[in-house]
Amino acid sequence: MKCDPTLYRAAPPSLAVKPRLIRHLFLPPLVILLMIGLGFAGYRVSEHFAVRALAESGERQLELNARAVESEISKYTYLPSLLELESSVSTLLADPSPEHRETVNTYLEGLNRRSRSRAIYIMDTTGRVMATSNWRDFDSYLGEDLSFRAYFQNAVRGQPGRFYGIGSTSGEPGYYLAHGLEEQGKIIGVAVVKVRLETMEERWQRARLEAFVSDENGIIILSSDPARRLKAVRPLSEDTKERLARSLQYYWFPLNELQPLARERLAEGVEKLTFPANTELEAEDTQVSYLSQTRPLSDTPWNFTLLTPLQDLQRQAVNQGILVAVAFALVAFFLIAWNERRKVIATRLAAREALQEANNQLERRIAERTDNLRASNERLKAQIRERRLAEETLRRAQDELVQAGKLAAIGQMSTSIAHELNQPLAALRTLSGNTVRFLERGALDTASANLKTINELIDRMGRITASLRAFARRGDDQGQASLGKAVDAALQLLGTRIETLPLQVHRHFDDVQVRIDQTRLEQILVNLIGNALDAMQAQPLPQLWLEGEASPGKYRLRVRDNGHGIDAEARKHLFEPFFTTKPGEQGLGLGLTLSASLAAATGGQLGVEHPASGGTAFVLSLPAIGPTQNEPS
């Protein structure tokens, strides 16, 4: 059973290996690159959305805290203007006598205590402090000329004076609110309230809020982180620096710029700022990023900035990025695995289909061949039937022929049979007559001898008829015969003819058992010996040789005579039915044909040899039964 090899032929190696090699070489770096890329994108997107969400919540925080700052500042807005209503103040400004000053000082002291401001003082239009709440203190402003202060300059011009600065006397930072005191439409002096805003810083610190307030110059005046205080949020020009230094607004502080490591503008008033880490607080990070949201404070030129740390958010974004990368890696892994599995399944399916196809082809071929075989089987069966029929017909014909041959032989022999029987009959007649006479004479001995002879004659006649009957009887192809007995029977049957000749019979064979019907063997031998006798009619010294020879499974008997032999033309037709060279009624030409048929029917054969010494030899070969006996007869 062979399958079609083309069904399993793989793709050419050059085509099958190359893409796989490329895939194996480039796929892992590609997956890693995509992993990194997507992880980074995930990080960025997560950060973007988180910053947006933070900005939104920060917006509220910003608003809330800015309002708090505004209310803290505006709390004192009206305090200086209230002093306009105080008559003792205008009196002092009109007449700066020690009594009036003391009155105002005391008044201001009480007012300052109640309002919890840092200091309240009154200046005349030249900028000299006329009365102050801290008149008892050693660093009291009393008598100081503060005309250089911007808040005074604004207030004396009738504008609201708002000023954050570091006190030139105390060196203490404060928020100054100045108001030009008017009397009958004329500025007679300036009232100033100094407020300390540090409470706000403390509040922020307590609330762990990172925030600062920058003034109109961009200088941080209030900050939850003291390190950022008095730093510039934007670069200051040299002129501005000089102007500010001259004004002593920030005392002698260097006003360095607050320089973030990175600054990224996200929206109006929203920035992402990265500062170097405060090593004490954030030991693990080298830098710290903030979302910076700035909003102007109303009634002041100041800005409030809220700083929201982005570490948690960034950590979260990093986690998200890692998650995205891992998710991608998993998806890629599953896709690759799925693809590989799909390919394996496809290959298996293809192989199964190929196998199925090969199987189908095989089955088709088997079916075709089975059909052919069935057809040829049918043909063979038909032929066998025909042959059996022919064989049957042949056997029947053969049987008929055998029977016909026998009858012919009987017919042929009838003259000699008649002669053979007439002779004893005549002898019987004479003997019986003589016996009667001998009995009458009382010659009983002679009569008894005659009767014995009569008996012998009758026995002989019985034997003749018995062998004729046996010869005429139908036999079968099977059976077992004794060669010795068959030869004896044949010689006996031909006895009358043999007696007429001075025949010498040479018997050199074993009395073996051969596979043939006894009668048929006798019939064959009668034919062969009869023919030999015919051929030796003219031979003065006729000799008959009966020579046996054993071969594996067979026994051969050669019946040789020294007769006239057979001429070349006759040799060709020897075994043809009705071929005879014998004149008149002597020959029917059936003997050899029948003998050969009988031998063949039992699995043996009959052949002819023409010895160089003359005469003819017929060789009868028959299947032997058992071991041959060495019994020369």
Per CB under 6 A, residues contacting ligand ADP are: 527, 531-532, 535, 561, 563-566, 570, 574, 579-582, 587-593, 616
* Least distance CB 613 / ligand ADP (angstroms): 14
Q: Nearer to ligand ADP by C-beta: 117 or 593?
A: 593
Phi first, then psi, for residue 609 (nearest 5°) are -125, 150
Q: Nearer to ligand ADP by C-beta: 241 or 564?
A: 564
Q: Nearer to ligand ADP by C-beta: 548 or 591?
A: 591
Q: Which two tokens stand for residue 231?
A: 């730093």
* Least distance CB 517 / ligand ADP (angstroms): 20
- Coil, strand or helix: which one is 403? helix
Q: Which two tokens stand for residue 190?
A: 């300036």
List all residues 6 or more positions away from 58 whose beta carbon is below 8 Å from its beta carbon: 291, 293, 306, 308
Q: Based on the number of CB atoms within 10 Å of its own CB, is 593 exposed (0-12), middle (13-18) or buried (19 or more)? A: buried
Q: Nearer to ligand ADP by C-beta: 390 or 570?
A: 570
> Do 38 and 328 touch, CB atoms closer than 8 A?
yes
* Least distance CB 452 / ligand ADP (angstroms): 39
* Least distance CB 546 / ligand ADP (angstroms): 13
Strand runs labelled E in 498-586: 504-508, 513-514, 543-551, 554-561
Phi first, then psi, for residue 147 (nearest 5°) are -65, -20
Q: Nearer to ligand ADP by C-beta: 224 or 616?
A: 616
* Least distance CB 570 / ligand ADP (angstroms): 6
Q: Nearer to ligand ADP by C-beta: 244 or 533?
A: 533
Q: Nearer to ligand ADP by C-beta: 164 or 618?
A: 618
Element (H, E) at 123: strand 119-124
Q: Nearer to ligand ADP by C-beta: 253 or 579?
A: 579
Phi first, then psi, for residue 510 (nearest 5°) are -95, 150
Q: Nearer to ligand ADP by C-beta: 423 or 580?
A: 580
Q: Which two tokens stand for residue 134?
A: 């801290």
Q: Nearer to ligand ADP by C-beta: 546 or 592?
A: 592
Could you tell me the sign of the dihedral formed by the alpha carbons of 26, 32, 38, 41, in that order? negative
Q: Nearer to ligand ADP by C-beta: 492 or 581?
A: 581
Q: Nearer to ligand ADP by C-beta: 54 or 536?
A: 536
Task: Give CA–CA dist 294/263, Å, rounded.
Answer: 14
Buried b or exposed e, range 471-498, using 16+ CB within 10 angstroms: beeebebeeebbbbebbbbbbbbbeebb
* Least distance CB 506 / ligand ADP (angstroms): 15
* Least distance CB 591 / ligand ADP (angstroms): 3
* Least distance CB 394 / ligand ADP (angstroms): 19
Task: Give CA–CA dist 371/187, Å, rounded.
Answer: 134
Residue 116 region by backbone torsions, left for phi larger than 0, else alpha for psi between -120 and 50, else beta: left
* Least distance CB 512 / ligand ADP (angstroms): 23
* Least distance CB 593 / ligand ADP (angstroms): 6
Task: Give CA–CA dist 157/486, Å, rounded.
Answer: 178
Based on its alpha-carbon atoms, the radius of gyration of the chain, rounded to whole angstroms, reads: 78
Task: Give CA–CA dist 222/210, Å, rounded.
Answer: 11
Task: Tell me the residue type at 367.
Answer: A
* Least distance CB 389 / ligand ADP (angstroms): 28
Residue nearest to ligand ADP (CB): 591
Task: Tell me the residue type at 599.
Answer: A
Question: What string of DSSP letters covers 172-211?
Answer: -EEEEEEEEEEETTEEEEEEEEEE--HHHHHHHHHTT-EE
* Least distance CB 478 / ligand ADP (angstroms): 25
CA torsion 523-524-529-530 (nearest 10°) is 60
- Other C-beta atoms closer than 10 Å to the C-beta of 95 total 10
